Amino acid sequence: MAKTILNGLLATATAVGLSFPSIASAQSLDEVMEARGLTQQDLLAAAKTYTPTGGRDEFIVFSSGGQSGQIMVYGVPSMRILKYVSVFTPEPWQGYGFDEESKAVLEQGRIDGKLLNWGDTHHPAISETDGDLDGEWLFINDKSAPRIGLVSLHDFETQQIVVNPIMQSEHGGAFVTPNTDYIIEATQYPAPLGRGFAPLSEFNEKYRGAVTYWKFDREAGRIDQSKSFSLELPPYSQDLSDAGKLVSDGWSFTNSFCAERYVGGIESGRPPFEAGCSQNDTDYLHVINWEKAVGVYEAGKVEMINDHPVIMMDTAIEEGLVYLIAEPKSPHGVDVSPDGEYIVVGGKLDTHASVYSFSKIMAAVEAGNFSGTDPYGIPIISMEDALHVQVALGLGPLHNQFDSKECVIYTSLYVDSQVAKWDYCEGKLLDKISIHYNIGHLVAMEGESVHPAGKYLISLNKLAIDRFNPVGPLHPQNHQLIDISGDKMELLYDMPVPLGEPHYAAAIAAEKLKPLVRYRYGTNSRTGGKHEGAVRPGQERIERDGDTVTVYMTAIRSHFTPEIVEVNEGDTVRFVVTNSERAEDETHGFSISTFDVNLSLEPGKTATAEIVADRPGVYSYYCTEFCSALHLEMTGYLVVKPEGYVEEATVGEEGTLWTEADYKKQVETNVQTQGVIDSVVVYITSRNFQDFPEVVALVEDATDQLTFAEDAKAKSEAAATESDWQNATLWAGQWWQYQVKAADIGLRAKNFLDEEGAVVTAE
Amino acid sequence: MAKTILNGLLATATAVGLSFPSIASAQSLDEVMEARGLTQQDLLAAAKTYTPTGGRDEFIVFSSGGQSGQIMVYGVPSMRILKYVSVFTPEPWQGYGFDEESKAVLEQGRIDGKLLNWGDTHHPAISETDGDLDGEWLFINDKSAPRIGLVSLHDFETQQIVVNPIMQSEHGGAFVTPNTDYIIEATQYPAPLGRGFAPLSEFNEKYRGAVTYWKFDREAGRIDQSKSFSLELPPYSQDLSDAGKLVSDGWSFTNSFCAERYVGGIESGRPPFEAGCSQNDTDYLHVINWEKAVGVYEAGKVEMINDHPVIMMDTAIEEGLVYLIAEPKSPHGVDVSPDGEYIVVGGKLDTHASVYSFSKIMAAVEAGNFSGTDPYGIPIISMEDALHVQVALGLGPLHNQFDSKECVIYTSLYVDSQVAKWDYCEGKLLDKISIHYNIGHLVAMEGESVHPAGKYLISLNKLAIDRFNPVGPLHPQNHQLIDISGDKMELLYDMPVPLGEPHYAAAIAAEKLKPLVRYRYGTNSRTGGKHEGAVRPGQERIERDGDTVTVYMTAIRSHFTPEIVEVNEGDTVRFVVTNSERAEDETHGFSISTFDVNLSLEPGKTATAEIVADRPGVYSYYCTEFCSALHLEMTGYLVVKPEGYVEEATVGEEGTLWTEADYKKQVETNVQTQGVIDSVVVYITSRNFQDFPEVVALVEDATDQLTFAEDAKAKSEAAATESDWQNATLWAGQWWQYQVKAADIGLRAKNFLDEEGAVVTAE
């Protein structure tokens, strides 16, 4: 019966002619459309979004995951979610917070001594070069604790978390300057800077807002806290921000709500925050000269708060760093046009979008033309002096995104549940489309860069209500894809969001991303550097240092080395595991039953699972990623010996005994199997497989497996020489296992060639 | 300018005639197909899967989330992910592990004193009635620690976790008996029962497998540990299981690999587990009479291990509870046919699927016709005596699923990367389709019930490699949807899996699910009962008991009551928050900045955030679900007073002072706004809105908001009577806020009626 797989291989290898009757689908397109109630418009939308197997999306969206603390990555136009990247929340499937390397990243996010297990991600920003998205790095903020996370777009892993030293709460981050020199982070709810205490009765005097400019060191690939600084701001609720670009480069814009400085207290008969914070007709747009502020900071004109340099308001006013402009009622988004000249603000509780002119603002600043100052002495530029145009769009205008078409902008209307398309140069409404329902942010392809890509717009809707099959009281959100290539917006697709509430998203042309296929051998993915505990196959070892046992391990299809680890009760055990695969997608996991660890080991990665063996017993460890047909057999035992246990030098009885006949039978199978593999190799190499990089990679991998097979074969033959039939048989079995892996890969390569229409180049 | 929203409302309410030019799409279907490289076959697949806005899926799939510890819920045929349900892993967006109620569920999963923060979910099972899926409950196992989670399909929340008292490792769960009397859980890697210690040299004598039958109390909606029991099994690696049904009801089937009882040790020159565990041509299928075992357990013929009753092997053999049948080489799945007569096993390392006949097995048992016993004395039925038919399918047959068509079955072929369709009555191969790549499980619609639904099959592929845009070294898995309605299988859709590695999935007709729209007011969702801390609006209060302060709070669009909470440094503070909304989808969140808590409060739910106020300062709390235009203003302050702080009885200065003129202006706005709302009401009520349940619900919600508006209006007028213009203005503002909420809802209702083609029923 061991020959059956051989027969299978033979069957497959010779099955070029085999095919089942190719009956056309029983249902015609018209029948399907009628059965499913599709209109012609639906079919067109389907054709614009459906992506057949192996197809690629044109754009990749990075969406915040809200209270999940993660980032959701999906493709456009297919609207298929490709990955969740964990940033602030532990995620076992990525090993995040479960291996020692990523725990070190989460430790960076400790705030006032507290280790946090989640975040409330809001606004992702892709790194920019000259105002264009460059696809290297991604920054995202946490509203639940004032922090910024940094994700490498090479491996889609979080590599750094920085904690804001002075804020208690933030919302207006992360936004990058056009060359990613700085990442902007603005407070949300006012509090004493430095997270100290002050009673609410001293709100006006002691509570403050702020904006932090985090320095990004691109060469190091890290935010440099030692070169970052902040500006003190009044106790308004600062909100979203945007960096100037081109003509307005060097400036940044931060809006606000609750310039009323209202402090609620509904429990004591006061109207709630929502009433007091929305009573006035206007709030303030903060206009900040960050480039000049860098000079002021570098000149040392700062106060240190929690060891962090802060330019205080008086200094900022004196140095001409900050100005205010009235903006309509509790605005939400502020967005700078691709050419940098216009700053667009939606008045959340006002039906208008207001377009400010940067040159008008500069003229007012230069002329010292101010209508007065706010209670803290900041000069106010009158709205009339700064305004380019104001357009009535509808109810609840929130955010704006720019089209590739000149002067065309899209604005979300929360209360109206619509998107407005309008001309911000002429101040003219062009089109509206209804969404489902209550849109927050929206995102156009590269829609905040200096070169928006147009084509698609996504409406990030807060409510889905009746759009999808019900899944309990907690509904998904709804991301709706809209075709903006024509004059009229067209709704293409509803995508439910299964996890967390996204706020903002950033979309980039897929071709700009250059993710790694595999890590350099032995990489610590959280530092990007070589892992000091990485070992090559053959170098595995177990080392004891006092009560700490370190296991230097490798993982490959489908076994760990070592497979048996014996320690004493109370030992600290560190498994430093390196995935020694080089094949794409050949990830292994590592878990120890009933211990709270899991590693995700992509090819080349090294990661560490550390446990305290506090309870005697035997614990199986196993691979948590289905890696080959022998995946379930990829296991081992951690044996924790009880205190005082005296080992007897006994060897266990073998469960099964194999004989010379077993050995011979296995070898016969292997020889025949090799013949079949050779025929697959002939099939592949007689075609133009080298034109297909995917197949070249598979062939490399199969070659690796056959090399391993040779090694097992040698061990088998050596044992046979000594009539050790037990080991001879088993090593022959292992030799065959490597052959099966080679066959698996070979068949995938063969199928790929068949599907891609490879041609015969040799006979 | 405060009137601008009014103008907006007017514009919208009267905009029935307003429309932008309806230009047909610039691109025709042919142009789109050409541009996107779609074939006619692709277009047909698109039409079979594309689901326009508001459309519903016919089936709902519950897929394990692997090392994410979660369950993924998606629709078929749209393949859109609707929700992730957290089971073993904390998930802040659902409050899971962040509120006290769900922490209590995770506490149930503590094992040997250890609280675990993840799980490795493998096999979901939907509760059954008479062998048909009933859509009430879902069970899922954890391979990383031997546990079962219970999810309510009424609210898609995890309500119970049970820890296996005797296993160290499991894999073969959860599988239910036809009336969900028992949930089956089988070990994976052998270990001493009870998780004790024994050296590996005593593997054959002291290591064991087991299968646990968990009793489900449907009335209580809980697994009843006090009525559950286990059977001791030999130290083979038991694997997947399935319950008999109809003719085979009362029996269950558990297969195994590594019947070789091989113990690896590659580090000491031994061949690895993968070689030794796959050396023999056959392993054993365990055939167990669980119904009879219940009687043996109830008769007390058990040994207690960790207070858990275990029927030991000797008893099981003596009582005739367990038999073995040889099955081909390291099988993986075992699946019982809809009529209960056939048991199908795929030989993972054998090219055959083997179909056993239940009546033949019974005949052998009754005749005492055994070929011998295994090393532990369990009777072995010879394969020939039990086998119905054996079919060569291809390389790596793993799992099976049944079609609605008689005798038709689908089997995954891991190594071949194919699905085989075959006839298990006649033993005939019918069709094959290539998948991408390396399929593990597969799932047909209700494909393991007594009435499979056919239509669709999903291939759960382990590798995606080149199918999607690259997202770093860690790739998604790939779920491929296959149309099985015709004679030939047709590939319809590739769905990337963004989070965790799914193993198995269960698919149910969507119409069988009856999820809750909202909770009964004040529900503790983790118990399903009334929460003792729930309060109605007006009953909110703050209570101190020693160092513990309990805040009984409500949340509604868009404020918390109370908004200011003052405590002393070192206090334990418990926020027991009830969402007092009744509108569908109106979820609120609750987070306290820099503390590690987040609540997800769906309408009617009560949950508790508990923190220790260990550091003086001011901490804003806020709503983490965008709930209305005033969402950002849904905030409050937790004020933690430093030890020894002496409060001065000062009242803070107001940030803004409002006058009689402000009050009058606001009232004027409100009166006009009310006129507009009335016109929307007329628009809605003059149409057949009562034919649309969604709109009826919206109208109810809007009516609620207007009632709240009346209340705020009364407060405003009372303040005005006393010339308290500050409060008069602010309460008038709050009155207007409720009007805006009513308008938001009214506009959604109006849009819905327009889109659904409501007709005028009155003028």
- Chain B nearest C-alpha distance from A340 (Å): 28
ipTM reported for the complex, 2 dp: 0.95
Residue A140 maps to which CATH number? 2.130.10.10
- Cα separation, A715 vs A667, in Å, equals 13
Mean pLDDT of B217-244: 98
Cross-strand partners of A608: A576
Element (H, E) at A177: none
Which residues of chain A are within 8 Å of residue B535 when distances are taken between CB atoms? none
- Cβ burial A125-160 (10 Å sphere, 16+ → b, else e): bbbbeebebbbbbbbbbbbbbbbbbbbbbbbbbbbb
Which CATH number fits the domain that encloses residue B552?
2.60.40.420
Q: Are residues A361 and A287 in contact, defined by beta-carbon separation less than 8 angstroms?
A: yes
Residue B417 sits in the same domain as residue B450: yes
Task: State the Cα–Cα distance between residues A412 and B747, nearest whole angstrom.
Answer: 15
Residues A457 and A548 in one domain: no
Residue B498 and residue A84: Cβ atoms within 8 Å? yes
The encoded tokens of residue A480 equal 């709706």
Write out the H or E segment, with its range, that includes residue A37: none
Does residue B112 fall inside a structural domain? Answer: no
CB distance B748 to B683 below 8 Å: no
Mutate to test the interface with A, among B59, B469, B560, B680 (most CBs of A within 10 A): B469
Shared domain check, A341 and A310: yes
Same domain, A488 and A344: yes
Q: Please, which residues bridge with residue A223 across strands? A: A216
Cβ atoms of B572 and B612 closer than 8 Å: yes
Query: CB distance B67–A589 less than 8 Å?
Result: yes
The span from the CA of B209 to the CA of B233, in Å, is 5
pLDDT greater than 50 at residue A425: yes
> pLDDT of B344-381, one tens digit each?
999 888 899 999 999 999 999 999 999 999 999 999 99
State the pLDDT confidence band at B694, using cuts at 50, 70 and 90. Answer: confident
Looking up tokens 């039409």, which residue turns up? B47
Q: Judge if A250 and A387 occupy the same domain.
A: yes
**Is any Cβ of chain B less than 8 angstroms from the Cβ of A757?**
no
Judge whether residue A20 has pLDDT over 60: no
State whether residue B612 sits within 8 Å of chain A by CB: no
Q: What is the H or E stretch that residue A360 is in?
A: helix A358-367
Residue of B16, B93, B439, B584 to mutate when probing chain A, most A C-beta within 10 A: B93
> Which of B641, B670, B685 is the last residue in one of the domains?
B641
Q: Where are the alpha helices (DSSP H) in B621-724?
A: 660-685, 693-721
Given a cut of 80, whether residue B11 has pLDDT beyond it is no
Chain A window 625-654: which residues touch B at a Cβ cutoff of 8 Å? Answer: 625-627, 629-630, 632-637, 639-642, 645, 647-648, 650-654
What string of H, E and C letters represents the secondary structure of A405-466? Answer: CCCEEEEEECCCCEEEEEECCCCEEEEEEECCCCEEEEEEECCCCCCCCEEEEEEEECCCCC
Q: Which of B46, B54, B81 sits opposite A498 (nearest CB)?
A: B81
Residues for chain B: how many in total? 763
As given in the structure block, the two tokens for residue A178 are 């056009």
CA distances from A648 to A651, B199, B262 (A): 9, 9, 20
Nearest by CB to A47, from B32, B57, B203: name it.
B32
Residue B647 in domain? no
Write out residues 356-395 of B within 8 Å (CB-CB) of A.
392, 394-395
Asked which of B469, B492, B512 is the last residue of a domain, the reply is B512
The whole-angstrom separation of Cα B763 and Cα B758 is 14
How sure is the predictor about A15, in pLDDT bands with cuts at 50, 70 and 90?
Answer: very low
B731–A262 C-beta distance less than 8 A: no
Q: Does A743 touch chain B (CB under 8 A)?
A: yes
Which strand (E) or helix (H) includes residue A542?
Answer: strand A541-545
Contacts of B167 in chain A (CB under 8 A): none
Q: Is 50 exceeded by the pLDDT of residue A456?
A: yes
CA distance B290 to B228: 12
Question: Could you tell me if B617 and B664 lie in one domain?
Answer: no
* Residues B269 and B350: beta-carbon distance below 8 Å: no
* Calpha distance B87→B515 (Å, rounded): 18
Which of A38, A499, A651 is the best mutation test for B, with the most CBs of B within 10 A? Answer: A499
CA neighbor of B273 nearest in space, from B377, B194, B190: B190
Q: Mean per-residue pLDDT for A451-465?
A: 97
* B465 close to A (CB below 8 A): yes
Does the pLDDT value for residue B3 go beyond 80?
no
Beta bridge partners of B408: B423
What confidence score (pLDDT) does residue A26 get?
55
Q: Which two tokens stand for residue A63?
A: 């969406």
The answer to whether B396 contacts A744, with C-beta atoms less than 8 Å apart, is: yes
Domain identity same for B605 and B680: no
SS3 label, residue B222: strand
Determine whether the interchain pair B636/A737 forms a contact, defined as Cβ–Cβ distance below 8 Å. no
Q: Residue B43 contacts by C-beta under 8 Å, 6 or more apart in sequence?
A: A29, A43, A46, A47, A50, B29, B33
**Tally of structural domains, chain B:** 3
- B370/B237 same-domain check: yes
B241 occurs within a structural domain: yes
Please give, rounded to a whole number of angstroms, the shortest distance from the CA of A291 to a CA of chain B: 30
Contact A744 B438 (CB under 8 A): yes
Query: Are residues A677 and A632 part of one domain?
Result: no
Minimum-distance CB partner of B620 among A189, A274, A464: A189
Nearest to B166 by CA among A285, A9, A617: A617
Kindly report the backbone phi and psi dihedral angles of residue A71, in degrees, each rounded to the nearest multiple of 5, phi listed first: -120, 135
Whether residue B397 sits in one domain with residue B317: yes
What pLDDT is attached to residue A694? 86
* Mean pLDDT value of segment B199-206: 97
Q: How does residue A244 score in pLDDT terms, banded at 50, 70 and 90?
A: very high
B299 contacts chain A (CB < 8 A): no
Is residue A271 situated within a structural domain? no
Residue for token pair 């296996």: B164
What pLDDT is attached to residue A652? 83
With tokens 């000259």, the residue in question is A130
Q: Which of B641, B667, B697 is the last residue of a domain?
A: B641
Average pLDDT over residues A524-534: 97
CA–CA gap between residue A90 and residue B291 (Å, rounded):
43
State how far the Cα of B125 lies from the Cα of B131, in Å rounded to an integer.
Answer: 12
Q: Which 3 state secondary structure label does DSSP give B565?
A: strand
Is B478 within 8 Å of B496 (Cβ atoms)? yes
Q: What is the pLDDT of residues B621-647, one digit of tens each?
A: 999 999 998 999 999 999 999 999 988
- Which residues of chain A are within 8 Å of residue B626 when distances are taken between CB atoms? 438, 440, 462, 501, 503
Q: Is residue B217 part of a domain?
A: yes
Phi, psi of A21 (to 5 degrees): -55, 130
Q: Which two tokens stand for residue B627?
A: 């709930």
Tell me which chain B residues have a C-beta less than 8 angstroms from the C-beta of A348.
Answer: 629
Secondary structure of residue B520 in the 3-state scheme: coil
Q: Do B620 and A60 touch (CB under 8 A)?
A: no
Assess if residue B654 is contained within a domain: no
Q: What residues of B are in contact with residue A711 (Cβ under 8 Å)?
A: none
User: Quick check: A575 pLDDT over 80?
Assistant: yes
For residue A763, the model assigns a pLDDT of: 54
* Of the listed ranges A373-387, A694-708, B248-262, the one predicted with least confidence: A694-708
Residue B153's SS3 state is: coil
The β-bridge relationship of strands B564-568 and B635-641 is parallel
Q: What is the pLDDT of residue A515?
A: 97
CA distance A247 to chain B (A): 31
The DSSP element (H or E) to which B430 belongs, if any, is strand B428-434
**Closest chain A residue to B152, measured at CA:** A472
Q: Which residue has the higher pLDDT, B646 or A372?
A: A372
Q: In chain B, which residues have their Cβ closer than 8 Å to the Cβ of A54?
A: 436, 466-467, 494
CB contact under 8 A, A44 and B66: no
Q: For residues B632 and B406, give the distance between their C-alpha atoms in angstroms, rounded to a whole number.
A: 58
Residue A263 at interface with chain B, using a CB cutoff of 8 Å: yes
pLDDT one-digit tens code per residue, B677-690: 999 899 999 999 99
Question: What is the model's pLDDT at position A747?
Answer: 87
Q: Supply the angle between the helices A693-721 and A725-755 in degrees, to the nearest 10.
A: 170
Predicted confidence band at B12 (pLDDT cuts at 50, 70, 90)? very low
In a domain, A762, yes or no: no
Per the CB < 8 Å rule, is B257 touching A81? no
CA distance B600 to chain A (A): 9
Q: How far is B299 from chain A (nearest CA, A)?
A: 31
Q: Which run of H or of E encompasses A604? A: none
Is residue B508 a contact partner of residue B446, using CB atoms and an 8 Å limit? yes
Cβ(A249)–Cβ(A221) under 8 Å?
Answer: no
Instruction: Return the pLDDT at B763.
Output: 54
Residue B422 is predicted with a pLDDT of 98
Cα–Cα dist A716/A722, whole Å: 10
Q: Are A243 and A336 in contact (CB under 8 A)?
A: yes
pLDDT in tens, A467-502: 999 999 999 999 999 999 999 999 999 999 999 999
How much of chain A, in percent, has pLDDT values that exceed 90? 89
Q: Cβ–Cβ contacts within 10 Å for residue B206, how many?
A: 18
Q: Which chain A residues are closer than 8 Å to B262 by Cβ?
A: 654-656, 730
Domain containing residue B711 = 659-756
Q: Which residues of B touch A55 (CB under 8 A)?
A: 37
CA A280 and chain centroid, separation: 39
Q: Which residues pair with A439 in a beta bridge?
A: A461
Alpha helices for A550-659 (secondary structure H) = none
Q: How much is the mean pLDDT over chain B? A: 94
Given CB atoms, is B72 within the 8 Å cutoff of chain A? Answer: yes
**B228 at A interface, C-beta within 8 A:** no
Shared domain check, A230 and A121: yes
Kindly give the interhelix angle for A29-36 and A40-49, rounded to the nearest 10 degrees: 110
Count of helix runs (H) and strand runs (E) in chain B: 13, 42
Each residue of B559-586: pLDDT tens digit? 999 999 999 999 999 999 999 998 999 9
- Closest by CA to B341, choosing from B392, B389, B379, is B389
Give all strands (DSSP E) within A145-208, no chain letters. Answer: 147-152, 157-163, 175-176, 182-186
CA distance A640 to chain B (A): 8
Segment B314-338 shows an average pLDDT of 96
Between strands A132-142 and A121-129, the pairing is antiparallel
Residues in A touching B89 (Cβ below 8 Å) = 91-92
d(CA A331, CA A350): 8
Write the burial class of residue B12 (CB in 10 Å: 0-12 exposed, 13-18 middle, 19+ buried).
buried
Q: For residues A64 and A88, what is the distance between their CA atoms, to the nearest angstrom?
A: 12
Residue B4 domain flag? no
Does A70 share its domain with A211? yes
Distance between the two ends of chain A, CA-based, in angstroms?
Answer: 33
CB A206 within 8 A of CB A177: no
Tokens of B531: 């929460």
Range B212-223 average pLDDT: 98
Consecutive H or E run containing B747: helix B725-756
Q: Is A522 left (phi over 0), alpha (psi -120 to 50) or beta?
A: left
Rg for chain A (alpha carbons), in Å?
31
Q: Which residues of B touch A87 (CB under 8 A)?
A: none
Nearest to B82 by CA among B66, B67, B97, B60: B60
Contacts of B632 in chain A (CB under 8 A): 171, 188, 237, 239, 257, 332
CB contact under 8 A, B561 and A267: yes
